[in-house]
Amino acid sequence: MNKPLRRVAIFCGLLVLALLIRVNYIQFVQADELKNDANNRRVTINQYATPRGDILVDGKAITGHTETTGSDFKYKATFKNGKMWAPVTGYASQAFGTTLLQGVEDKILTGDDDRLFFTRTVDVLSGKQKQGGDVVTTLSGAAQKAAFKGLGNKKGAVAAINPETGAILALASTPSYDPSSFAGNSQKDSEAWNALQKKNNPDDPMLNRALRQTYPPGSTFKVVTAAAALQDGLYDDIDEPTDSEVPYILPDTNNQELKNEGGIACKNVSLREALRVSCNSVFGKLGATLGRDKMVEEAEKFGFNEEQFVPVRVAASNFSTKMDRPQTALSSIGQFETAATPLQMAMVAAAIANDGKLMKPYMVSELRASNNKLVDSIKPEELSQPLSSDNAQKLQQMMETVVQSGTGTRAQIPGVTVGGKTGTAQHGVDNSEKPYAWFISYAKTDKGSPVAVAVVVEDASANRGDISGGGFAAPIAKSVMEAVLNK
């Protein structure tokens, strides 16, 4: 072969080699990235080419599917009692994607999860259509219904947990939306979607207030401060007088008073009495005395300052790590920059009810193939130990007094031991807006403590002076606890 031909042959060989390298790079290195690219329409077509699996509550499907026409998407998702369950299921839309459980468990629901390979292979060999798997939740239909009904037309949220396992029993958020209204890919679906966006609907119905919205927790946070005081040994007997003055002057300030609502008698009262009537002066001083570092440590043991995954992402609740002494006092009564999701405050109540042990919250118990074969199961897991068993039981006594004869009497359930704490969280410029009404609680029977609940109501429709966690949030918590107990 002469020299010019040899050069051409080498050049062509290099081109072929480059092509082979490129093809193999795309096939083996970029395959997953290209397959899952949001701009790859084949991905979405594949998502809706076969019936999606279901999300189950109490063994019954709360989702479904139906065939569509006039589109290259064959199936779309449907939702039963969509508004009630939207904070759990999220949506699965041919046009707008997936979220919450529909998003986190998408591969199971579409049947594309690697753990379903054997099932898919059997279906192909037997000539069956590919089917999605099912997601079995820990939710209680009765508790969810009670929470959603209790909130009614109010703006707010409810979260309920089994303290002994961490299993989430209810997640309600209002106002809500029906995921079925935009599950397709038509003009009608687009109009429904646009009507739900915050820019077009100031009530923001697509906001998951139970998991993604943080609120100032107000006086419900005082149980965290009480836990920190007990753990530090600041007080041992919950009925001994505290060294607390009225008015309490915030440290390092020019006589700035931390006042108590309604002029309640709080001077030198015990911890039990301070929680019963919700003394700002007592718990503000406790927080300032303990100091920022100890308060931060205790708050973080309860789950503050860290996102949770249940498996859906939960927004991190906030307890500032950069405070001076006056700010620490205010933070210790749920003010300043303290902010919590309803799920976070349910976790606080749950840890106290469970003798100081905080279980990791979760709302999926099993993943199953279309033939009902178990793919994965989730077991209860301890997250932390915010306080000792002995101190937790002291705090239980304090919270039970709140319900027996304090600000939380509307949560009483005959024959059941109920502990709780009310909260009225101020917000707005110069506290100009209606306060948020909070209530956190747990119920106990001789068989254990099956439920802890947190309720927040944003827009309680009453005169400002009448708004309180005990008046608006406690009855909702009571109905949720009764639903779990009766079940």
Collapsing DSSP to helix, strand or coil, 19 comes out as: helix
Q: What is the pLDDT of residue 466?
A: 41
Q: What backbone phi and psi angles, to 5 degrees, belong to 169? A: -105, -25
Residue 31 has pLDDT above 90, yes or no: no
pLDDT at 431 over 70: no
Name beta bridge partners: 453: 160, 441
Structural contact between residues 357 and 385, judged by C-beta atoms closer than 8 angstroms: yes
- Residues contacting 476, CB < 8 A, separation 6+: 146, 147, 150, 151, 158, 439, 455, 457
Cβ–Cβ < 8 Å for 98, 35? no
**Which of 336, 361, 107 lies closest to 319 in space, CA to CA?**
336
Two tokens at 85?
């369950």
- Classify 336 in phi/psi space as left (phi over 0), alpha (psi -120 to 50) or beta: left
First to last CA, the chain: 89
| Antiparallel, parallel or unpaired: β 417-425 and 436-445 | antiparallel
Mean pLDDT of 304-332: 97
Give the pLDDT score at 124: 64
Token representation of residue 338: 């303290």
Mean pLDDT of 270-296: 96
Q: How far apart are alpha carbons 25 and 20 in whole angstroms?
A: 8
Amino acid letter, 234 = L
Of 261, 277, 399, the residue nearest 269 (C-alpha) = 277
pLDDT tops 60 at residue 25: yes
pLDDT digits (tens, 9 = 90+) for 32-76: 666 666 566 666 776 677 889 999 999 999 999 998 876 777 889
Residue 174, sorted as left (phi over 0), alpha (psi -120 to 50) or beta, turns out to be beta
The answer to whether the bond into 311 is cis (omega within 30° of 0) is yes
pLDDT tens per residue, range 366-386: 999 988 899 999 999 999 999
Beta carbons within 10 angstroms of residue 214's beta carbon: 16
Cα 128 to the center of its chain, rounded Å? 38
Q: Using an 8 Å Cβ cutoff, are 121 and 371 in contact?
A: no
Mean pLDDT of 155-175: 98
Q: Which residues of 89-119 are buried (b: 16+ CB within 10 A; e: fewer)?
A: bbbbbbeeebbbbbbbbbbbbbbbbeebeeb
Model confidence at 352, in pLDDT bands (50, 70, 90)? Answer: very high
pLDDT in tens, 392-412: 999 999 999 999 999 999 999
Q: Which residue has the higher pLDDT, 313 or 371?
A: 313
Residue 439 amino acid letter? F
> Mean pLDDT over residues 15-31, rounded?
73
What percent of the chain shows pLDDT beyond 90?
73
B/e letters for 317-332, b = 16+ CB within 10 Å, e = fewer, are: bbbbeebeebbbbbbb
- 3-state SS of 88-152? HHCCEECCCEECHHHHHCHHHHHCCCHHHHHHHHHHHHHCCCCCCCEEEECCCHHHHHHHHHHHC
How remote is the C-alpha of 107 from its chain's centroid?
22
Sorted by where each begins, the domain ranges of the chain are 218-364+383-486
Residue type, 73: F
Instruction: Give me the residues paired with residue 135 across strands.
Output: 55, 367
The pLDDT of residue 465? 43
Tell whether the model's pLDDT for residue 310 goes beyond 90. yes
145-165 burial, b for 16+ CB within 10 Å, e for fewer?
bbbbebbeebbbbbbbbbbbb
* Mean pLDDT, the chain, integer: 90
Average of per-residue pLDDT across 160-187: 97
Nearest-angstrom CA–CA distance, 132 and 49: 11
User: Which of 189-198, 253-262, 274-283 has the weakest average pLDDT?
Assistant: 253-262
Could you give the residue numbers annotated as active site?
219
C-alpha 68/C-alpha 465 separation (Å) is: 53
> Regarding predicted confidence, which is higher, 126 or 457?
457
| Confidence check: pLDDT of 236 > 70 | yes
> What are the pLDDT digits (tens) for 203-214?
999 999 999 999
Q: What is the dihedral of CA 114, 115, 117, 119, to 10 degrees?
A: -150
Choosing among 3.40.50.2000, 3.20.20.240, 3.40.710.10, 1.10.3450.40, the CATH entry for 218-364+383-486 is 3.40.710.10
Tokens of 216: 């100032």
DSSP assignment of 154-170? S-EEEEEE-TTT-BEEE
The tokens for 382 are: 């301890």
pLDDT in tens, 434-473: 789 999 999 999 888 899 999 999 976 544 444 466 778 9
Mean pLDDT of 465-483: 82
Distance (Å, whole) CA 402 – CA 387: 20
Q: Which amino acid is at 372?
A: N
